[in-house]
Structure 1
Amino acid sequence: MGHYIELSLFDLALATLLIVIASMVSLVLHLGITSTLILAAARCGLQLGAIGLVLRQIFGMKNPVLVVSWLLLMLFFAAREATRRSKKRYQGILLDSLLTMTASSLIAGGLVTQVVIRSDPWYDPQYTIPIFGMIFGNSLNGISLGLERLMDYVRGRAQEIELLLAFGATREEALREGAKMAVRTGMIPIINNMTVAGIVSLPGMMTGQIIAGASPIQAVSYQIVIMFMIAASNAIGTMTISRLAGRRLVTNLGIQWI
Structure 2
Amino acid sequence: MSGYIVLSPWDLALASLFILINAGLSLALRLGLERQLLIAAFRMILQLLLVGLVLKVVFAAASPWITALVAIVMIGFAGREIRARQERRHTGLWGYGLGAAAMTFSGTLVTVFALTTQIQPAPWWSPQYALPLFGMILGNTMTGVSLGLDSLHSLVDRERRAIEAQLLLGETSLTALLPPLRRALRSGFTPIINSMAATGAVALPGMMTGQILSGADPQEAVKYQLLIMFLIGGATGLGVLMAVLASAWRLTDPRHRLRLDRLSDSG
1:200 is paired with a residue of what secondary structure?
A: coil
Correspondence 1:58-137 to 2 at 5 A: 58-91=58-91, 92-137=94-139
- Residue 259 of structure 2 is matched in structure 1 by 256
Question: Aligned-residue CA RMSD in angstroms?
Answer: 1.7
Q: Determine the structure 1 residue equivalent to 2:57.
A: 57
Instruction: Report the counterpart of residue 183 of structure 1 in structure 2.
Output: 185
Contact 1:108 1:232 in 2 (8 A): yes
Which deviates more, 50-59 or 6-15? 6-15
Aligned sequence identity (%): 39
Give the stretch that moved more between structures: 140-149 or 160-169.
160-169
In structure 2, which of residues 140, 143, 146 is the aligned counterpart of residue 141 of structure 1?
143
Return the offset for 1:9: 2.5
Matched ranges for 1:146-225 at <5 A: 146-225=148-227
The gaps in structure 2 that reach 5 residues or longer are 262-267
Deviation at 1:168, TM superposition (A): 3.9
In structure 1, what residue type is equivalent to 2:259? Answer: Q
Please give the alpha-carbon distance, in whole angstroms, between the structure 2 residues aligned to 1:27 and 1:235: 40
The 1:181–1:50 alpha-carbon spacing in structure 2 relative to 1, beyond 3 Å, is: same
Report the 3-state secondary structure (helix = DSSP H, G, I; strand = E; otherwise coil) of the residue aligned with 2:260.
coil
Residue pair 2:208, 2:222 contacting (<8 A) in 1 also: yes
Amino acid at match of 1:38: L
| Equivalent residue, structure 2, for 1:30 | 30
CA shift, 1:167, in A, is 4.1
* TM-score, normalization by structure 2: 0.90
Verify the 8 A CA contact 2:89 2:150 in the aligned structure 1. Answer: no
Q: Could you tell me whether the CA contact under 8 Å between 1:80 and 1:97 is conserved in 2?
A: no
Shift of 1:159: 2.7
Give the letter for the 1:16 counterpart: S
Name stretches of at least 5 consecutive residues in structure 1 with no aligned partner.
Answer: none
| In 2: Cα distance, 1:51 partner to 1:165 partner | 50
* Secondary structure at the counterpart of residue 6 of structure 1: coil
- Alignment partner of 1:2 is 2:2: yes
Contact 1:90 1:257 in 2 (8 A): no
How many angstroms does 1:200 deviate by?
A: 0.9
Aligned residues: 258
> Does 234-243 or 156-165 show the bigger shift?
156-165
How far apart are residue 138 of structure 1 and its match? 0.7
Could you tell which deviates more after superposition, 245-254 or 182-191?
245-254
Name the TM-score, length of structure 1 as normaliser.
Answer: 0.93
Deviates more, 1:210-219 or 1:49-58: 210-219
Superposition deviation, residue 160 in structure 1: 3.0
Residue type of the partner of 1:255? L
3-state DSSP of counterpart to 1:175: helix
Counterpart of 2:16, as a letter, is: T
Structure 2 distance, partners of 1:27, 1:165, is 52
Structure 1 position 113, deviation (Å) = 1.7
Q: The residue matched to 1:255 in structure 2 has which SS?
A: coil
Alignment partner of 2:30: what SS?
coil
1:83 match: secondary structure: helix
Match of 1:12 in 2: 12
Write the deviation string for residues 107-139 of structure 1: whole angstroms up to 9, x where unpaired.
222222211212221211121111110111111
Encode CA deviations 1:26-84: one digit per residue, 9 max, x unaligned. 23323222222222211111111011000011111111101011001101110110110
Q: Report the Cα distance in structure 2 between the residues aligned to 1:185 and 1:41, rounded to whole angstroms.
A: 28
Deviation sequence 1:161-206 (CA, Å, 0-9, x none) = 2233334443333323322222221111111111111111111111
